[in-house]
Amino acid sequence: MPESSTQPAIQLKGISKIFNAGTDKEVRALEAIDLDIQPGQFISLIGPSGCGKSTLLRVIGDLIESTAGETKVFGKPAHQARLDRDYGMAFQKAGLFGWRTVAANIELPLELMGWDKTARKAKSAEMLDLVKLSDFGKHRPWQLSGGMQQRVAIARALSFSPQLLLMDEPFGALDEMTREHMQLELLRIHRETGTTVVFVTHSIPEAAFLSDRVVVLSPRPGRVHSVIEVDYGPGDRSDETRQMPEFFKKTTEVREALRAVEVAAGETL
């Protein structure tokens, strides 16, 4: 994708985050992060545990306030973007509400936004179609498998058509086959909706398969080590993509970047 001159979906300037500042439990989680994310892009944040990738995601979502720096989402301060409900969020655990049916879980954001019942029903039916769970609207979350629950969580995050999706290791708890299937589903949804995605993962092949750009973070404090551009040419990514030499090349590139990061972190210890 050529660099467009339009306004970035996300602009991070000099983001730092220090937890428990001034105490002996002080943790420098993020330091001087600069990053622009273009609309419609799929970005992965990858790095060793403790590199602050989840913290960075929460700074973008205004769930954690950065100690220094400026976060803009669609040109607005992150706080305003959260109040405007500009993004949807999905976590490693589906986090569905057991007292609600699957359809009612998907409708929750719409309820908070004051949609009327008819519109909510229509939208949840549409979303159930999108995640291929049309027959499960009236089920309770616990009646669904882990992969299906995660699809419901994604449908909930997308129900109000946000232009941005923030995902924190959403497939981390799934088995490998389900995970690969979910990756294809997510790419399809990403294509169909044109949503910008920021995706936290610690899986190298996952990052290489899904992303337009892989942002490799170094640990303690989290810094941007490198940004790897990924392009497998025209056509949609599919299971065949995973067999392409270019895919192996990209996973190797990401792996080497992560190794470099860990070696560097080891030296500072």
Partner 1 sequence: MTSLASRLGSVWPPLVTGALILGVWEALVAGLGIQEFVLPKPSSIVQAVGTEWEGLRTAGIETGTIAVTGLILGVVGGLILALVVTRFGWLSDSLTPMAVAVNATPIIALAPIFNAWFGLTDDRSNQAVVVAVVFFPVFINTAKGLSSVDPDQIELMRSLAASERTILTRVRIPSAVPFFVTSLRLAAPLSVIAAIVAEYFGGPTNRLGPFITQNASFARYDNAWAAIVIASAIGLALFAVALLIERLAAPWRDGPTEG
Kindly list the strands in the beta sheet with 223-229, ordered across the sheet, starting from the edge strand earlier in the chain: 87-90, 164-168, 196-200, 42-46, 213-218, 223-229
Query: SS3 for 158?
Result: helix
The pattern of x and - marking residues 149 through 188 that bind partner 1 according to CB under 8 A reads -----------------x----------------------
If the CB atoms of residues 142 and 269 are measured against partner 1, the closer one turns out to be 142
Q: From the CB of 168, what's the least distance to partner 1, in Å?
A: 9
The verdict on 99 binding partner 1 (CB under 8 A) reads yes
Provide the β-strand partners of residue 79. Answer: none
Distance CA 26, CA 139 (A): 45
If the CB atoms of residues 195 and 218 are measured against partner 1, the closer one turns out to be 195
Q: From the CB of 149, what's the least distance to partner 1, in Å?
A: 9
The verdict on 109 binding partner 1 (CB under 8 A) reads yes
Q: Quickly count: other Cβ atoms within 10 Å of residue 17's Cβ.
A: 24
Provide the β-strand partners of residue 45. Answer: 200, 215
Distance CA 219, CA 265 (A): 7
The verdict on 82 binding partner 1 (CB under 8 A) reads yes
The verdict on 112 binding partner 1 (CB under 8 A) reads yes
Which stretches within the chain are classed as H helix? 53-60, 78-83, 102-112, 117-130, 146-158, 176-193, 204-210, 245-268
The verdict on 93 binding partner 1 (CB under 8 A) reads yes
Residues numbered 15 to 34 that lie near partner 1 (CB under 8 A) are none
Q: From the CB of 109, what's the least distance to partner 1, in Å?
A: 5
Q: From the CB of 100, what's the least distance to partner 1, in Å?
A: 8
Distance CA 139, CA 160 (A): 21
The verdict on 61 binding partner 1 (CB under 8 A) reads yes
List residues near partner 1 by CB under 8 A: 58, 61, 63, 82-85, 87-89, 91, 93, 95-99, 108-109, 112, 140-143, 166
